[in-house]
Structure 1
Amino acid sequence: MSTLNQLSLQYPIFLAPMAGVSTPQLAAEVSNAGGLGSLGLGASSIESCREQILKTQALTDQAFQVNFFCHRSEVLDLDVAQQWIQHLQPYFAQFGHHAPEQLNCIYPSFLDSDDYLHLILELRPAAVSFHFGIPHPHQIQALKEAGIITMVTATNLNEAQAIEQAGIDLIIAQGIEAGGHRGIFHPQRDAALSTAELVQLLHQYCNLPIVAAGGIMNGQHAQHLLDLGASAVQLGTAFIQCSSSNANTIYREALFDEPVTQISAAISGRPARGIVNDWHKWIEQLDRPEIPVYPYSYDIAKQLHQLAAQQQHQGFAAFWAGSQVAEIRQLEAAELIYTLAKEMRLA
């Protein structure tokens, strides 16, 4: 039995695991409609992860994936951090506050301990996916022995080959069109391949099943990537507008306001595609100082957004979205899955 068949999906459609946006309700709705639901848990505490997984399991008896970050934890350069704090101070001052004196590491990595691994082994979701890197060999082995399917995001051939050699079950091929953070292992080594280019490349040189991700907004996009060699597709932006997502009203409205997207590392310290706002127009200047490493930059970015939002200013929000966001439809999750399946000639 192939890895995808083990998931017993009606349709080869995955919900992208969007940290901060995904919810147990959205994950269950996608799974119950025949796709693979997901929980983006990379920014969640152990307690929150447990609660979300248990709630999803109570809402569906179908397979779903959980996702964690596998970034390499880096030491913060204090001089770089102070220069960045000073760079952002005028924007904090606009809202009557001082910038923080230091930056904090707000997101742990799956690589840093086995706490998240033990939780997965206890609760046994059907699949677990990883972003920004590959788990340790002992972690992969433990997941395999538990019968849990493993997936890792690749943005180029070298990453995909490393994923295959590590014994992972599926490759998520994430192109430059993807909204939010792509799973680049080393942010300075971005091959910037389109989803179609990446799928074709991995189909030629890798043996694992490929899940295409990035800029897919309808069934025509999806079917094209299946024709190029993908075994399944993964969509995120198209589902943000669903009422069961955790996106706020302003985020949802922005998706339908003829948005333009751009990639920037200024928000989090890693390149990520989002709707163009004050970060892209004012912070990401040619003469800006060096950006502190991820996720320290994200700490101060979230603080600035929180202050601005309290004064009804949304220009510093991270409204992540894929490059073809203008093509999304206002549909609830189950209807969207069925619409995609029809457009893919699967229903």
Structure 2
Amino acid sequence: MTLLDKLALRLPVIQAPMAGVSTPVMAAAVSNAGALGSIGVGATNALGAAQMISDVRRLTDRSFNVNVFVHEAPRRDPDREAAWLDAMRPLFEGFSAEPPPSLATIYQSFADDDDMLRVLVEQAPPVVSFHFGLPEEAKVKALRAAGCVLIATATSLDEALAAKKAGMDAVVAQGFEAGGHRGVFDPAAADAQLGTLALTRLLVARSGLPVIAAGGIMDGQGVRAVLDLGATAAQLGTAFIGCPESAADDAYRAALHSDAAHHTTMTNAISGRPARCLRNRFTSWAEGTTEATPDYPVAYDAGKSLNAAAKASGDSGFGAQWAGQGAPLSRCMGAAELVQTLERELKA
């Protein structure tokens, strides 16, 4: 039985689990339309995740995906964090605000979150996916015993082979074009920055797992291209940001459909990990600073505080507006309509 058969998908398309953007309403709409909807719970706790899963189940009886972050705990460095806040001080002062006196670890990794594991085992969503790394063997066994299909993101063949060894059912080949956080297991290691096409073909040929291609795919023609390379399915994230069911705010949507869509950039300044987003005032500032960024998600605490100060002054140029290189091809339509459009384009 293939992965698509196991999940009862009519269309080989997965809506990416964009934490902070994907919603239960959008995930359910995608799943009801015959693709695989997703929610990201890496930015919430176990209680919030349980509510999101319940909300999805209330809206659909189809398969859906729940994504967690499996990053290493941040190395706290008070001197580096203080220097980062000092470097950002002029930005805060530009909005008549002060930087926070200190920073916090605002998101807990699934690697250290037994409460999240308990919720996932109890709720047993059809699919659980992992970003930034792989959980320990005991967590994998617990989720597999609960009946969950397990998927991990990989940006290289080595990461894909590690996913296979860990017992994953499939792997997401995340190309360098992809929006949002880069899924590298070790952000301090050298990154070969493989594009979606090269990485997909490499993992199809050598990983020994079903491959889900991700990065720069925005339409049915893009889906067809990666299927022709041997991928089992395509994962699209940026394509769904403009849907009314997403949690993107008005400024994010406007930026996505502006000239900014032609100028995405990879930065670690916003969160502490490399992530592709629309170029804005914050990313432009980051390109000129020499201060070392605190680890993820500590740096995100500073970035979110700055964005809140900017938004309070009516400035939307400091947000985490994640988007891939396919952003100029974004379309405004409901999530179900987008899935139906992708299906028509794929058949054509």
Shared fold, TM over 0.5: yes
Superposed CA RMSD in Å reads 1.0
In the TM superposition, what are the counterparts of 1:1-347 in structure 2 within 5 Å?
1-188=1-188, 189-258=190-259, 259=261, 260-285=263-288, 287-345=289-347
CA contact (8 A) 1:64 1:127 kept: yes
Q: Which amino acid aligns with 1:248?
A: D
Secondary structure at 1:284 match in 2: helix
Q: What letter corresponds to residue 193 of structure 2 in structure 1?
A: A
Deviation at 1:279, TM superposition (A): 1.7
Contact 1:11 1:35 in 2 (8 A): yes
**Which amino acid in 1 is paired with 2:196?**
T
What amino acid does structure 2 have at the position aligned with 1:171? V
Specify the code of the residue in structure 2 equivalent to 1:291.
Answer: T
Give structure 1 stretches of 5+ with no counterpart: none
Local SS of the residue matching 1:150 = strand
Q: Aligned equivalents of 1:89 and 1:283: distance in 2?
A: 13
Q: What is the CA-CA distance between 1:253 and the residue it aligns to?
A: 1.4
Q: CA deviation at 1:2?
A: 2.6
CA distance, structure 2, for counterparts of residue 218 and residue 72 of structure 1: 34
1:45 and 1:212 map into 2 onto residues whose CA distance is 28
**Aligned partner of residue 140 in structure 1, secondary structure:** helix
Q: Is the Cα–Cα contact under 8 Å of residues 310 and 318 in structure 2 kept in the other structure?
A: yes
Q: TM-score, normalised by structure 1?
A: 0.97
State whether residues 150 and 169 of structure 1, in contact with CA within 8 Å, keep that contact through their aligned partners in structure 2. Answer: yes
Deviations 1:130-168 (A, max 9, x none): 100001100001111111100000001110010011111
Quote the offset at 1:237 in angstroms.
Answer: 0.5
Amino acid at match of 1:51: Q
More displaced 10-residue stretch of structure 1: 255-264 or 297-306 = 255-264
Check whether the contact 1:209–1:230 (CA below 8 A) recurs between aligned residues. Answer: yes
Residues 87 and 288 in structure 1, CA contact (< 8 A), matched pair in contact too: no
User: Deviations 1:263-296 (Å, cap 9, x if unpaired)?
Assistant: 11111111111110012212221x4211111110
Q: Report the Cα distance in structure 2 between the residues aligned to 1:176 and 1:32, rounded to whole angstroms.
A: 30
Give the deviation of 1:74 after TM superposition.
2.4
CA apart distance, 1:126 = 0.3
Task: Give, in whole Å, the separation in 2 of the partners of 1:261 and 1:206.
Answer: 30
Distance in structure 1 (CA, Å) of the matches to 2:61 and 2:208 = 30
Question: What secondary structure sits across from 2:144 in the alignment?
Answer: helix
One-letter code of the match for 2:52? Q
Aligned residue pairs total 345
Please give the alpha-carbon distance, in whole angstroms, between the structure 2 residues aligned to 1:206 and 1:150: 15
Percent identity between matched residues is 46
Q: TM-score, normalised by structure 2?
A: 0.97
The answer to whether the Cα contact below 8 Å between 2:124 and 2:143 also exists between their aligned partners in 1 is no
Unaligned runs of 5+ in 2: none
CA distance in 1, matches of 2:207, 2:54: 35
